[in-house]
Amino acid sequence: MTINHDDFLQKQITAQLREARFDEAVATTSAAAAVQHQRHNPNMKLPDLLVWARSFAKHCQRLKGKPAPQGARATARN
Distance in angstroms (rounded) separating the CA atoms of residues 48 and 35: 12
pTM exceeding 0.85 = no
What is the per-residue pLDDT for 72? Answer: 41
Q: Are 61 and 22 in contact (CB under 8 A)?
A: yes
Tell me which residue of 2, 7, 1 sits closest to 36, measured CA to CA.
7
What pLDDT score does 59 carry? 86
Phi, psi of 2 (to 5 degrees): -100, 130
CA-nearest of 77, 74, 22 to 53 is 22
Predicted local distance difference test score (pLDDT) of residue 65: 59
Instruction: Give residue-wise pLDDT tens across range 30-69.
Output: 999 999 999 898 898 989 999 999 999 988 876 665 544 4
